[in-house]
Structure 1
Amino acid sequence: EESVRVGKWVRDVCMFCLYLLVCTLAVLLGNEKNMARSVNKFWVNFFSNRSSTVRDLDGLQLFMNEVIAGELMKTSFLYNRYGQQNSSYGVLFGNSLIGNASLRQVRVKSDACGSVHGALDNDGILAGTECYPSWTLGTEDAVYSKSKAQKPLQPKSFHAFTSAASTGSPSYVGSFGTYPGGGFVASFAVQDTSRILQEVAGAQWVDPKTRALFFEMFMYSANDDLFLFSQVCFEFPAGGFVLPSSTVYTYDINRYKASSMKSNLEYFFFFLSLLYILKEFAAFRRQNIWRYLHFDWPTLELTLVLLVIISAGLRVYHSYMLSKITSSSAMTVLSVQQAVRGAAVASANLDAAFGVIAFLLWTKSLRYIMLTRSTRRLMTAIYFNVRKMLSFAMIATLLIYACSLTAFMLFGANLDQFQSINRSGSTIIQSIFGNKIFAVLVHETGSGGFLYYFGTIAAIRVFVYSILVAIGIDSYRKAVQGEQTAKKPLLELIRGELARRHREYMTRGFKEEEEASGLRTINRRASSNAQRKESGAPREARWKPWGLDDKDGSNEHL
């Protein structure tokens, strides 16, 4: 259409700006994460500093006695903010222990040794014992046994296998593998800590079959309204040493506090989203599925609608999980953990959904600034750029993956940057866009690294930059060509519509003025003729075109 409804366009722009403002405020006014990050950082440093000295079983036993029994498990409230033990106060304004703390280990099955071990055994160099492989998911043992399948003479509760569904623990990504949430669990309350740890040590619970040992606690900070789940991991590779690490999960389940301006802002956002969905549904009813068959602004509208629906579902799920935590019904520690994790995951996903919605809305705002030919030309060029970049990305991915395989096989044993295929791909991508890897390759691998750099990384860099420049030139050329057959830009349509309305207004005003002037002339002449008639003088004659006078030519009708 070569015209535009200016009033409707202004209303649409104002409504969109309000929607964009509310969504942006909903993202910016979310709960501050500074306290959650501070608490998380404190506990990570706490466990890292105390577990970093553990290198063998003796160091592990020292950690259990001094850190677990001697520091953490003195009271159900762990520490006050001054580092002193106190029965009524905790770290950072009170972190109380929920349920029991636990030690959980993951074990592997025994396996036959390799042919080299057998040959050395026959030569008398090694003793003929069974071997315990490195950790993989297929080697996990669900039955506790010592060497040669010997069962404990007096089995305890920590000799029984517990599944991940029963422990509620998440999987842990370590340096030597990903460990499941199940295993053999030694759970203990505060008052039973010393006794359980002595039983674990006396039974030699940790042995060469152990591949990972976890110390886990679930805590709550009432003043900060934060839940924490800590995992201190001690990995036992097949080589026999111990590698400690730790992870702390901080769960902030209240994204918005109840009955606050932030919460009301979120509800207002969903109300505006409902109006937005109804408007999009009306457009869908007019155009049917053809509206979304082309990658254009309607595709973005549909994506926004789907994300809003997902966000509403996450909000309902979050409220449901929060109601389970705050309900008066009796709940087990496991159910509390599951509800807290569910609410925290829903809150995190809701944050992510809000972020994507805000990104798409700000992207859609480009539609409202495409008023002139220059801005529309640039936006069209960007659109073509994005389409071509997606096609080029598939080709570049294949090339980078091939180079990653080569680098992994050549330099994986010597350089940390190429220890895996994923690390190799990440290193190559970083080096393409500026990260300096040339000096490291040449220093560590010599001429082989020199040849690899110029044969692959440098060549890919030149190829990528050349393609990017070519794509930009071609996209702008297409945008200029398409401008010749495109409709008028929005600003020209608005100017044309306003000019048309101005002409109509001025024309209508001129006609009204002309009609009013003619009416005044007729009234003046009628008044003059009436005066002449009263005085007996002849009436004023009015000229008429030829052929319109009276038959006798006297203009008597006037």
Structure 2
Amino acid sequence: QFAEGPLLDGLYWEESYNNHTTLTSQNSNSSHIYYENLLLGVAQIRQLKVHNNSCSIYPYFQDLLEDCYSEYRYQVEDRSEFGLKSDSEWQYTLGSSLSPWYWGSMGFYSSGGYRFTLPKSKQESLEKLEFLRENNWLTRGTRIVFIDFSTYNANVNLFCIVRLVVEFPATGGAHTSSHTYSVKLLRYVKNYDYFLASCEITFCLFIIVFIIQEVIKIRKLKKNYFKNAWNYLDLLLLVVSILAIAFNIYRTIAVSTLMEGLLSDPHTYPDFYFLAFWQVLYNNMIAVNVFFAWIKLFKFVSFNKTMIQLSSTLSRCAKDILGFAIMFFIIFFAYAQLGYLVFGLQVEEFSSFQNCIFTQFRIVLGDFNFEAIEAADRILGPIYFITFVFFVFFILLNMFLAIINDTYSEVKADFQMMTTEELQLRDLIKQ
């Protein structure tokens, strides 16, 4: 019902602002969603299935139940032809090697599947969906359905890649989700974009100089180069920067190739999703690179008196903190396991061991729903909460602060006992 109703109404807009002139009459191959977003090509629908007898039925129920479809796993994925077996939507097709797998709420899904594209006409799309529904394209073994399409807004020069997902867990029912990526794939349009291009070229030149400097340093220091932790940070920044430059070049070429194919045949599905996915990873990579670039500033302010005290404090108390961390996480994970076993079936925050760990960090920060665990277990709930706060918050965290405070006091006392000559030598090195 969703695909034959709201989905088609959203994909095929036939009215302009005045609600009289149809947009499709101006260009039969275009659909403008919300008047401004051009639908690129056509939408694609894809499903993944598991084959029958992919799970075991207990002997008591084998006479009552004949079929068994497990949750999705790549090993039990159904790739055989089914239904009419005549068209491509009834045949399994492999995904591209560059297409990412999908990490859903119920599993980790491959990039292949049974897929088909919707026609450019709304009426033809409706007829095709009705035909597939009448011939049972969706089966009991269906575990996930993807609806992918892309739009382009020339007003802001942004591509919008949309993925609608419906997961069908083995327990029954359906779980829906959506993912929208707004990315700028056409980089150089305005004058400001060309200014950014000049900055990118300058960045590439800096990276080349950086590479030459590091090569000279490695040849000069040899094995001693790898004994300095700051050199590892320099290498990390260098590798991430090279990967970012390579992806930037690849993205420009890939977008041009996709646009050429789309202009030559507007009835195909342009797979911008994998570009959007890698664009997100590219943004994350740039974020990590910028973060470590800021951390590198500590290398140039290490002669500051305050920074020396800080580094001396951390290095001197490192062994004590390591011993404390072992004791802390033993108690912390013990409470996480307790919370998972006691409240896991009733409280969402404790539904998995990972959620228990994050929930306990929230308790330490004061963000916690006490009523939920009290309703789950009126006896163990308050006991768990009170003892966790007492041991972790009042005892262990204060021990951690005491270790750092005592070490800092010792380091500060040592600095006060330094002679004037030592301080003058530090000032000379600083200059």
Q: TM-score, normalized by length of structure 2? A: 0.79
The structural deviation recorded for 1:350 is 4.7
Matched, 1:129 2:66: yes
Q: Is the 8 A contact 2:186 2:255 kept in 1?
A: no
Q: Is the 8 A contact 1:304 1:357 kept in 2?
A: no
* Structure 2 letter corresponding to 1:130: D
Matched, 1:469 2:413: no
Cα shift readout 1:172-224 (whole Å, capped 9, x = no counterpart) = 33332233222211222213412321221120211222222222213333333
The structural deviation recorded for 1:390 is 6.1
1:337: which partner in 2? 272
Seen in structure 2, the aligned counterparts of structure 1 residues 308 and 178 have a Cα distance that, compared at 3 Å, is same
Aligned CA-pair RMSD = 3.8
The structural deviation recorded for 1:491 is 7.9
Give the secondary-structure state (helix, strand or coil) at the position aligned to 2:57. Answer: coil
Distance in 1 of aligned mates of 2:259 and 2:33:
29
1:532: which partner in 2? none
1:70: which partner in 2? 9
Distance in 1 of aligned mates of 2:249 and 2:70:
46
The structural deviation recorded for 1:331 is 4.1
2:27: which partner in 1? none
1:217: which partner in 2? 149
1:106: which partner in 2? 48
* Structure 2 letter corresponding to 1:290: N
* Structure 1 letter corresponding to 2:40: I
Seen in structure 2, the aligned counterparts of structure 1 residues 386 and 222 have a Cα distance that, compared at 3 Å, is farther
Give the secondary-structure state (helix, strand or coil) at the position aligned to 1:407. Answer: helix
Give the secondary-structure state (helix, strand or coil) at the position aligned to 1:229. Answer: strand
Distance in 1 of aligned mates of 2:353 and 2:346:
14
Matched, 1:157 2:157: no
Distance in 2 of aligned mates of 1:496 and 1:464:
39
Seen in structure 2, the aligned counterparts of structure 1 residues 274 and 103 have a Cα distance that, compared at 3 Å, is closer
Give the secondary-structure state (helix, strand or coil) at the position aligned to 2:12. Answer: helix
Q: Percent identity?
A: 20
The structural deviation recorded for 1:468 is 1.6
The structural deviation recorded for 1:159 is 1.1
Give the secondary-structure state (helix, strand or coil) at the position aligned to 1:233. Answer: strand
The structural deviation recorded for 1:302 is 3.7
* Structure 2 letter corresponding to 1:143: S
The structural deviation recorded for 1:160 is 0.6
1:355: which partner in 2? 290
Distance in 2 of aligned mates of 1:133 and 1:495:
68
Seen in structure 2, the aligned counterparts of structure 1 residues 254 and 473 have a Cα distance that, compared at 3 Å, is farther
Cα shift readout 1:325-358 (whole Å, capped 9, x = no counterpart) = 2369954767863773476256414522442243
2:196: which partner in 1? 262
Within 5 Å, give how 1:53-452 maps onto structure 2.
Answer: 62-74=1-13, 86-87=23-24, 90-91=32-33, 94-111=36-53, 112-118=56-62, 127-145=64-82, 152=83, 155-165=86-96, 170-191=100-121, 192-253=124-185, 260-272=194-206, 274-275=208-209, 287-293=221-227, 298-326=228-256, 331=261, 337=272, 340-341=275-276, 344-345=279-280, 347-367=282-302, 370=304, 372=305, 376-382=308-314, 384=316, 389=321, 392-393=324-325, 395-452=327-384
1:522: which partner in 2? none
Cα shift readout 1:22-61 (whole Å, capped 9, x = no counterpart) = xxxxxxxxxxxxxxxxxxxxxxxxxxxxxxxxxxxxxxxx
Cα shift readout 1:109-164 (whole Å, capped 9, x = no counterpart) = 2225323424xx5xxxxx5432323333433211245xxxxxx3564321111222
Distance in 1 of aligned mates of 2:94 and 2:156:
32
* Structure 1 letter corresponding to 2:293: A
Seen in structure 2, the aligned counterparts of structure 1 residues 159 and 281 have a Cα distance that, compared at 3 Å, is closer
* Structure 1 letter corresponding to 2:70: P
Distance in 1 of aligned mates of 2:308 and 2:300:
13
Seen in structure 2, the aligned counterparts of structure 1 residues 83 and 473 have a Cα distance that, compared at 3 Å, is farther
Give the secondary-structure state (helix, strand or coil) at the position aligned to 2:301. Answer: helix
The structural deviation recorded for 1:442 is 2.4
Q: Is the 8 A contact 1:80 1:94 kept in 2?
A: no
2:427: which partner in 1? 493
The structural deviation recorded for 1:465 is 0.9
* Structure 1 letter corresponding to 2:113: G
Unaligned stretches of 5+ in structure 1? 1-61, 122-126, 146-151, 498-558
Give the secondary-structure state (helix, strand or coil) at the position aligned to 1:164. Answer: coil
Q: Is the 8 A contact 1:253 1:322 kept in 2?
A: yes
Distance in 2 of aligned mates of 1:278 and 1:165:
37
The structural deviation recorded for 1:493 is 3.0
The structural deviation recorded for 1:416 is 0.7
Give the secondary-structure state (helix, strand or coil) at the position aligned to 2:275. Answer: helix
Give the secondary-structure state (helix, strand or coil) at the position aligned to 1:130. Answer: coil
Cα shift readout 1:81-121 (whole Å, capped 9, x = no counterpart) = 99997336734774333333122122122225323424xx5
Give the secondary-structure state (helix, strand or coil) at the position aligned to 1:141. Answer: coil
The structural deviation recorded for 1:321 is 2.8
Distance in 2 of aligned mates of 1:328 and 1:451:
60
2:265: which partner in 1? none
Q: Is the 8 A contact 2:258 2:270 kept in 1?
A: no
Distance in 1 of aligned mates of 2:96 and 2:178:
22
Q: Is the 8 A contact 2:207 2:241 kept in 1?
A: no
Seen in structure 2, the aligned counterparts of structure 1 residues 212 and 89 have a Cα distance that, compared at 3 Å, is closer
Distance in 1 of aligned mates of 2:430 and 2:333:
54
Distance in 1 of aligned mates of 2:425 and 2:201:
35
Q: Is the 8 A contact 1:322 1:339 kept in 2?
A: no
Distance in 1 of aligned mates of 2:373 and 2:366:
15
